């Protein structure tokens, strides 16, 4: 792999040997259109819904919905990485 200097630091040049497939590229293009806040608010909404369900006695449903918070946050991180780094991006500096 080649190295490049980007923003004053050394980094690995984009992965030239293994490219994303068409499905992953399409998903990245579509999710990159969403604001990063979307995933944060979805996570907060899942936690609030879970708490509400727990209070009204729907314990199993509360646990099910409550487990959505972490994946929403992970989707947000993935979304941010795609926006910042792009997919299969090569640096020519």
For residue 45, being part of any structural domain is answered with: yes
DSSP letter assigned to residue 19: P
Domain count within the chain: 1
For residue 92, being part of any structural domain is answered with: no
For residue 91, being part of any structural domain is answered with: no
Quickly state the pLDDT bin for 80 (edges 50, 70, 90): confident
Strand ranges inside the chain, DSSP E: 3-6, 9-12
How many angstroms from the chain centroid is the CA of residue 32?
A: 9
| Closest to 35 measured CA to CA, from 87, 2, 76, 3 | 76
For residue 68, being part of any structural domain is answered with: yes
Express each pLDDT in 51-76 by its tens digit. 999 999 999 999 999 999 999 999 88
Q: Taking the model in full, what pTM does it have?
A: 0.64
For residue 90, being part of any structural domain is answered with: no
Which position has the higher pLDDT, 15 or 68?
A: 68
Express each pLDDT in 35-50 by its tens digit. 878 999 999 999 999 9
């Amino acid at each position: 792999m080649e190295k490049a200097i980007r923003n004053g630091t050394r980094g690995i040049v984009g992965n030239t040997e293994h490219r994303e497939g068409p499905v992953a590229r399409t998903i990245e293009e579509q999710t990159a259109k969403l604001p990063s806040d979307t995933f944060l608010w979805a996570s907060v909404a899942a936690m609030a819904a879970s708490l509400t369900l727990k209070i009204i006695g729907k314990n199993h449903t509360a646990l099910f919905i409550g487990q959505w918070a972490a994946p929403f946050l992970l989707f947000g991180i993935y979304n941010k990485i795609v926006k910042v780094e792009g997919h299969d991006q090569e640096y020519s500096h």
